[in-house]
Amino acid sequence: MTDKETQLWKELPDPLLKAVACLVTVDAPEWSGNATELIDGLDGMNIQPNVLTRKLNIGADRLWNEYHIRYESDRTHAGRNIKLILDISEA
């Protein structure tokens, strides 16, 4: 029982964040568009745009810490824009 209590807890990989990391690479270090366009770029993700935005808002720190991808979001009259930028110096 002592071994389990002293081991560090590690979060399981988030499939959404991993899919974003596959989209934003050294070859294409920047992506911008709306949530619907991002879903189209994420192969195999069946998720609603508002859920995607919420999960990215919650997982922004983890996206940065694990994949060195900065997440930015802003709202305009046309809708919400998402910008993902890979920090190549950290990758």
Q: What is the pTM for the complete model shown?
A: 0.83
- The answer for residues whose C-beta is within 8 angstroms of residue 40's C-beta and 6 or more apart is none
Rg from Cα positions in the chain: 15
Ordered structural domains, the chain, with CATH: 12-86 (3.30.1370)
pLDDT at residue 89 greater than cutoff 70: yes
In whole angstroms, give the CA distance from residue 46 to residue 30: 23
Please give the C-alpha separations between residue 11 and each of 62, 66, 74, in angstroms, as whole numbers. 10, 11, 28
In whole angstroms, give the CA distance from residue 77 to residue 27: 31
- The answer for residues whose C-beta is within 8 angstroms of residue 64's C-beta and 6 or more apart is 70, 71
Could you report the per-residue pLDDT of 57-76, keeping only the tens digit for each?
999 999 999 999 999 999 88
